[in-house]
Every structure is written in C-alpha cells, then in structure tokens.
C-alpha cells in the first residue's frame, strides 16, 4: 500500500481541501476564485442566449464564429507556450495572471453590454472565451501549490469541478431573469461585477513560484514516458469531443442548417424524404429549437461533469486509471451511437450527459497517471503545459461543426467514431508498451529503475494498477 493511501485511510488531512471547506486556506481562496469565474461564465452565456448570434442568418453566424474563433485562438496558441514558463518562474506570476484575466473580463463584459446589437459582439465574445481558457491554464498551475499531498491534489480537482458545476447552474438563474426582464445589457453588467469580484478574490491567492528551477532531463523523460503520452492523447481527444459537441449543439439548436442556396440534388433528396415520410437526420428545424432544449443540454452537461467528479474517485479504488480511461472512451462510443439512434432532445441529453461525465472523470484519471508515472515532474508546470494543449484541442474540435454544417445525428456518429479511434489507439499503445516491457526497456520509456517496481499492487480493493505493474517504493528494479 502506498503511503499516501495509508494516510487516506486514517482520515482526511487536517489542512486539506476536504477538512477546511471555505476557510481562509490557499485552496479556499482558489475555490472562491473558481466560484466567481463559473458564475461569470454562466451569466454571460445567459446574456448571449438572446443576442445577435441567435438572430442573424445561420450562414452568416457560421462565418463570424469561424473567423473570430481563428483570430482569437491562433494568437493564444502561439503566445501561451511562450509566456507560460516565464509566469511559472516569476514569484506570484500565475496569481497576477489570474487577476489580469479577471480585470480583462470586466472590460470585455462592459464592452459587450454596449455592443449587444453590433457585430462587434462576436470578437468580444471570443475574447471572453480566450480569457476563460487562459484562466483555466493558470488555475491548473496553481492547484498543486495549494495542497500538500498527491491525494489532496486529486480531491482538490474534484472539488473545484463540483464548485464550477454548482455555480454555473446557480449563476445562470439571475442572468436569465435579468436578460428577460430588462435586457442583455444589464445581465452583462452583472457579469462585469462578478468578474471584478473574481479579480479581487485572486489577490488573496498565495504569491508563490510555480517552478523555480528549469525542467530537468529526468522530468522531461518522465513526461514523455509511454503511459503519460498515451493518457494525454486520450484526454486530448476527449477535450476535442467536448468542443465538437459544444458547437454542434449550438448551431443545431439555433436552426441547424445553412441558409445558403440549396443544391438541386439536396432539394430533390429532401423532397423524396418528405414524400416517403422519413424523419430528417438533423435534430433541429430551420426555425430553431425551443429555449428549454438549450437548458436541457446545459443541464445535462453540468450533471455529467458533477457525476464524473463524484464517481471517478470511487472507481479509482476498484480499478486502475488506465482501465477507467478505457471504459470512459468506450462509454463515449456507446453514448454517441445511442444519441444518433434516439435523436431529438433525448439524443442531445444523452450525448451531453455522457461527454460531460467522460471529460470530468477522464481528467481525474489523467492527473493521477501523471502523478504516478512522473513523480519527479513539477506538478504546476506540467499540468499547465498539458492544459494548454487540451484547450487548443478543444478549439480544433469545435472548429469542425462551425465550418461544416453537420446535422445532430450525424454529428453524434462522428463523436462516436472519434472516441472509438481514441480507444483503439490507446489499446494499441498499451499493447506496445507491454511488449517493450516484456522484452526490456524500450527506446521511448523512462528508465524503469526511476519509475516502476515489479509486482501486483495491493491497495484497498486489491486491484491491479498499470495492468500488472505497480508504481511505488516497495521493490525497485535494479
């Protein structure tokens, strides 16, 4: 049994996230910042529900979204890997970056309030999106610094996910009420106030350096080990699926198709379909779906995220992280195919619920794999690096349904195919890793003496970890 697991059996740590709740601990300060950030996101989402995005023709909306998604995220993709290491080395660098994202959100929300009926709303909305992505990366770098053990780190991620889900649901209510009663300008003003509170709360975060020393060869080798690379690729695909589903449902629910001239062949096909009495493969009509369909999709995604946060820690007591990750990918395949068969609002709820659960539980498994297989890696620096990649993959996944009009049911099939490809690649990679281990150390693995021991893991449930190999200090390979 690993020492951290022994401590977990004796009870929660005295000063950890489980014991202190919202006391004046570093984790509590970060949880407050997360609460304000999630509430701000929810209010802005509610404010934009009646905005220009849902009133201009679908084809024009696609062009605007694709353009500004590219213009805002492309610089982010270039700048984030460059400034990240500098922020990690500076004392309080990530803390001030989070404060800066809060201030930027105040300015953006006020600008959006003045541009609700203008095309300027599109670049502002995507600037708000970029600020949210930047905050998540900085937050991932700070989390290891506000806890004491690896077990607390997993627990902290789970609790922050719960805070995000709850505040997203609660924060959206006043945003919707204000947007309906007095207009989106006022609800965006409320979002600016919440963003200001986020910036003020971030000032109470500890002024620490995420990474004092540059990356060592051992750290680099551990982060490039086969297990970590395979897990990061699987998690990246899950994030891409989240982005794909987000924009797929956004355009499908607002009206689905493109209002450009319809080709003769497509018009003939639609006529044959209608005369035969077949239902359209798309999940929405050209006039858009009822507003409660949007609410159902958001609620399903939120519930899925919460389920993943609650279920993943319990599953880790019964099975290895690799097995859970395989199960998550297989479940996403099944959910995508089921949603394609069901269609309509039931299909979108199934897809949103499953993808939310998969992304949340998969992230916890990935964090655990990094902690286990890269013990010498700086947690904050490595998590920020991976989070940057995951956010960029999210954008790439969302770009496809923006530029290509895809009916919902076909989109669910694409989703299932992507998850199936990720599962196949993960299984193939694990088989290759097993063959290299049976034949001796492979060229892409970290030296076994630094990371692995032989023998089955005997934890609380007696489950095998790493499919027969355990990691820990008990008996090292010479």
3-state SS assignment for residue 287: coil
What is the rounded average pLDDT for all residues in the chain?
77
- 218-260+277-478: what CATH class? mainly alpha
Give the H/E segment covering residue 77. helix 58-89
193-202, 386-395, 464-473: least confident range: 464-473
pTM over cut 0.85:
no
Average pLDDT on 14-22 reads 44
* Number of helical (H) and strand (E) elements in the chain, helices listed first: 17, 2
Which of 68-82, 112-126, 220-234, 394-408 is the least confident region? Answer: 68-82
Query: Which is more confidently placed, 8 or 147?
Result: 147
**pLDDT of 452 above 50:** no
Residue 352 has pLDDT above 90, yes or no: yes
Alpha-carbon separation of residue 89 from 95, 136, 209 (angstroms): 12, 18, 6
Q: Are 415 and 351 in contact (CB under 8 A)?
A: yes
pLDDT, residue 153, reads: 75
CA 462 to CA 457: how far, in whole Å? 7
pLDDT at 37 over 90: yes
pLDDT of 31 reads 92
Report the range of poorest mean pLDDT among 26-30, 99-103, 312-316.
Answer: 312-316
Q: Tell me if 457 sits within 8 A of 463, measured CB to CB.
A: yes
Taking 80 as the threshold, does the pLDDT of residue 119 lie above it? no
Residue 344 has pLDDT above 80, yes or no: yes
Q: How confident is the model at residue 234 (pLDDT cuts 50, 70, 90)?
A: very high
* Mean pLDDT lowest among 85-89, 175-179, 249-253: 85-89
Confidence grade of residue 295 (pLDDT, cut at 50, 70, 90) = confident
Confidence grade of residue 84 (pLDDT, cut at 50, 70, 90)? confident
Among 205, 196, 41, residue whose Cα is nearest residue 133: 41
| CA distance linking residue 440 with residue 77, whole number of Å | 38
Residues 211-229: what's their mean pLDDT?
80
The torsion region of residue 377 among left (phi > 0), alpha (psi -120 to 50) and beta comes to beta
pLDDT above 60 (res 20) = no
Higher pLDDT, 450 or 313: 313
Give the span between the Cα atoms of 335 and 353, in whole angstroms. 9
pLDDT tens digits along 126-137: 889 888 888 888
State the pLDDT at residue 121.
Answer: 82
Q: Which two tokens stand for residue 392?
A: 């960029």
CB 322 within 8 A of CB 123: no
pLDDT reported for residue 446: 46
Confidence of residue 395 (pLDDT cuts 50, 70, 90): confident
Higher pLDDT, 340 or 150: 340
Alpha helices for 90-216 (secondary structure H): 93-113, 121-142, 150-181, 184-202
- pLDDT tens figures, 60-79: 667 777 777 777 677 677 76
Q: What is the pLDDT of residues 162-196, one digit of tens each?
A: 898 888 888 888 888 888 888 888 999 999 999 99
Q: How confident is the model at residue 138 (pLDDT cuts 50, 70, 90)?
A: confident
Mean pLDDT across the stretch 425-436? 83
Q: What is the pLDDT of residue 6?
A: 35
Ranking 81-95, 156-170, 275-289, 415-429 by mean pLDDT, the lowest is 275-289
Q: Contact 128/73 with Cβ under 8 angstroms?
A: no
Among 3.90.1330.10, 1.20.120.1200, 1.20.1250.20, 3.60.15.10, what is the CATH number of 22-207? 1.20.1250.20
- Bridge-partner residues for 454, per DSSP? 469
Start-end of CATH 1.20.1250.20 domains in the chain? 22-207, 218-260+277-478
pLDDT at 165: 86
Residue 462 in this model has a pLDDT that exceeds 70: no
426 compared with 9, residue with greater pLDDT: 426
Determine what percent of the chain is predicted with pLDDT higher than 90: 27
36-50, 199-213, 326-340, 359-373: which has the minimum mean pLDDT? 199-213
Rounded average pLDDT over 220-239: 90
Given a cut of 60, whether residue 470 has pLDDT beyond it is: no
- What is residue 325's predicted lDDT score, i.e. its pLDDT? 93
pLDDT band at 425 (very low <50, low <70, confident <90, very high): very high
Q: Are strands 469-470 and 453-454 parallel, antiparallel or unpaired?
A: antiparallel
């Amino acid at each position: 049994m690993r020492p951290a697991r022994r401590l977990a059996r004796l009870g929660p740590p005295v000063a950890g996230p489980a014991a202190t709740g919202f006391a004046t601990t570093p984790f509590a300060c970060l949880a407050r910042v997360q609460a304000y950030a999630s509430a701000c996101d929810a209010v802005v989402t509610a404010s934009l529900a009646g905005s220009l995005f849902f009133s201009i023709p679908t084809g024009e909306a696609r062009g605007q979204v694709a353009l500004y998604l590219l213009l805002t995220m492309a610089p982010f993709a270039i700048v984030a890997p460059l400034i990240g290491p500098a922020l990690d080395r500076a004392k309080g660098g990530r803390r001030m970056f989070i404060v800066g994202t809060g201030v930027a959100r105040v300015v953006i929300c006020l600008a959006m309030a003045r541009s609700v009926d203008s095309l300027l709303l599109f670049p502002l909305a995507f600037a708000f999106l970029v600020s949210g992505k930047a905050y998540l990366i900085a937050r991932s770098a700070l989390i290891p610094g506000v806890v004491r053990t690896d077990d607390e780190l997993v627990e902290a991620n789970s609790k922050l996910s719960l805070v995000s889900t709850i505040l997203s649901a609660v924060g959206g209510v006043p945003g919707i009420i204000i947007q309906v009663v007095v207009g989106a300008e006022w609800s965006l003003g409320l979002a600016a106030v919440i963003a200001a509170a986020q910036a003020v709360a971030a000032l109470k975060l500890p002024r620490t350096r995420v990474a004092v020393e540059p990356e060592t060869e051992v750290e680099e080798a551990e982060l490039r080990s086969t297990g970590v690379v395979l897990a990061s690729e699987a998690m990246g695909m899950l994030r891409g699926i989240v982005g794909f589903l987000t924009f797929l449902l956004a355009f499908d629910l607002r009206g689905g198709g493109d209002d450009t001239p319809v080709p003769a062949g497509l018009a003939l096909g639609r006529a044959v379909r209608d005369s035969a009495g077949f239902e359209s493969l798309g999940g929405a009509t050209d006039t858009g779906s009822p507003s409660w369909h949007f609410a159902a999709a958001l609620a399903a995604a939120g519930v899925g995220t919460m389920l993943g946060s609650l279920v993943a820690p319990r599953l880790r007591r019964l099975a290895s992280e690799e097995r859970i990750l395989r199960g998550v990918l297989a479940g996403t395949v099944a959910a995508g195919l089921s949603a394609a068969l069901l269609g309509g609002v039931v299909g979108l709820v199934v897809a949103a619920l499953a993808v939310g659960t998969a992304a949340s539980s998969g992230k916890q498994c990935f964090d655990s794999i990094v902690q286990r297989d890269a013990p010498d890696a700086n947690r904050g620096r490595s998590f920020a690096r991976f989070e940057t990649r995951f956010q960029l993959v999210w954008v790439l996944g969302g770009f496809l349904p923006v530029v290509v009009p895809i009916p919902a049911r076909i989109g669910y099939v694409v989703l299932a195919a992507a998850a199936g490809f990720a599962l196949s690649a993960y299984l193939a990679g694990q088989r290759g890793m097993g063959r290299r281990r049976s034949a001796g150390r492979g060229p892409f693995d970290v030296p076994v003496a630094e990371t692995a021991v032989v023998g089955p893991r005997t934890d609380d449930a007696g489950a095998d970890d790493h499919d027969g190999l355990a990691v820990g200090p008990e008996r090292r390979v010479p």
